[in-house]
Amino acid sequence: MATHLVRKLDGALEPFDSSKLVRSLKNAGATEATVVDIVGHIEREMKDGMTTSHIYRHARRLLKKHADSPVAARYSLRRAVLELGPSGFPFETLLGEVFKKKGYNVRVGEIMKGHCVDHEIDVIAHNDKELILVEAKFHNAQGFKTDVKVALYIHGRFLDLEAGGFEGLVPRGGKAQSWVVTNTKFTENAIRYGTCVGMHMIGWGYPSKGNVQDLIEEAGLHPLSCLTTLTGKEKETLYQNGVVLCRGVVDNPNVLERAGVTGPKVATVLAEANRLCVPFTAEDIKHDA
């Protein structure tokens, strides 16, 4: 079979690599039979110049036919997180909920006093063992990378907060950690510097375990934007009502009415949201495959 060229988001052309599609479908929990069917379908329709976005949308439409599983919603996780913008605050809220799920006390978007100046911290998470200060770098397009300048700034801020005593939030005998979490990727220099100074670098696909998608799926905290049963307008209305996660719909179904969702559609949305609230790990992928 001839190799076709596909167009990436940055406009560059590269040979179509079906193994990437296979991997993304399996990571979403698709069965082996479903993967074979979708990849074969897309390969038969492949043309030179087809965009990766088109391939994604096509695969997602095919996955939606499997209504007994939230695979289509999981497959769209990366783009769903990108849609949390433009302010980035929903991303901070999402990360805060992840830490709450892990048993931390959490504050989002608050000021901490350093030795020299005050600093705004996106997420402050602490328990009886440690204090974690999180800088959330949100981008609403995949091409952006968090660079070494960000890592340098965050480390400098951490040192100033350390000199100021972290407002007494570090437990006796405990430790403080500096995290940078992004929904896209890091430059190589950012990773090198962050690793060198002991900073926790969490991005999309980085590290191989414990990355952003792992944090979301293992906690069962998928963003509302993952839902395939809601329109863009309905999701935006829910954001305006403070609902960021699928869990928010499950815990308070009445918010759907405020977004104009009524009748039989309510049950459909809740069914999908409930399935996404179940923690999902690599073991689940092996089990479903």
Question: Are residues 208 and 104 located together in one domain of the fold?
Answer: yes
Question: Are residues 66 and 98 located together in one domain of the fold?
Answer: no
pLDDT at res. 205: 86
Question: Are residues 114 and 231 located together in one domain of the fold?
Answer: no
Residues forming beta bridges with residue 213, ordered by sequence position: none
Residue 272 in domain:
yes
pLDDT at res. 69: 54
Residue 39 in domain:
yes
> Distance between CA 128 and CA 170 in Å, rounded?
8
Distance of CA 280 to the CA centre of its chain: 14
Domain boundary at 181, 200, 217, which? 217
Question: Are residues 166 and 266 located together in one domain of the fold?
Answer: no
Residue 81 in domain:
no
> Distance between CA 144 and CA 227 in Å, rounded?
25
Residue 132 in domain:
yes
Residue 83 in domain:
no
Question: Are residues 102 and 142 located together in one domain of the fold?
Answer: yes
Q: Which residue has the tokens 């906690």?
A: 219
Residue 80 in domain:
no
Question: Are residues 15 and 44 located together in one domain of the fold?
Answer: yes
Residue 235 in domain:
yes
| DSSP label at residue 235 | H
pLDDT at res. 229: 87
Structural domain boundaries, residue 146: 89-217
What DSSP line would sit under 78-143, residue for residue? HHHHHTT-SSSHHHHHHHHHHHHHTT-EEEEEEEEE-SSSEEEEEEEEE-SSEEEEEEEE--SSTT
Any idea what the CATH number is for the domain that residue 178 is in? 3.40.1350.10
Domain boundary at 75, 108, 125, which? 75
Question: Are residues 116 and 212 located together in one domain of the fold?
Answer: yes
Question: Are residues 209 and 229 located together in one domain of the fold?
Answer: no
> Distance between CA 32 and CA 29 in Å, rounded?
9
Contact 31, 289 (CB under 8 A): yes
**Burial code of 20-49, b = ≥16 C-beta within 10 A, e = fewer?**
ebbebbbbbbbeeebbeebbeebeeebeee
Domain boundary at 157, 183, 217, which? 217
Domain count along the chain: 3
Question: Are residues 146 and 34 located together in one domain of the fold?
Answer: no
Q: pLDDT tens digits, the chain, 289 residues: what are they?
A: 467 888 876 678 888 888 888 877 877 778 888 888 888 888 888 888 888 878 877 887 787 776 555 676 677 788 888 887 666 688 998 999 999 999 999 999 999 999 999 999 999 999 999 999 999 999 887 778 999 999 999 999 999 999 999 999 999 999 999 999 999 999 999 999 999 999 999 999 899 889 998 898 888 888 888 888 899 899 989 988 888 899 999 999 999 998 999 999 999 999 989 888 877 654 444 333 3
Residue 206 in domain:
yes
- What are the φ and ψ backbone dihedral angles of 79, each rounded to 5 degrees? -70, -30
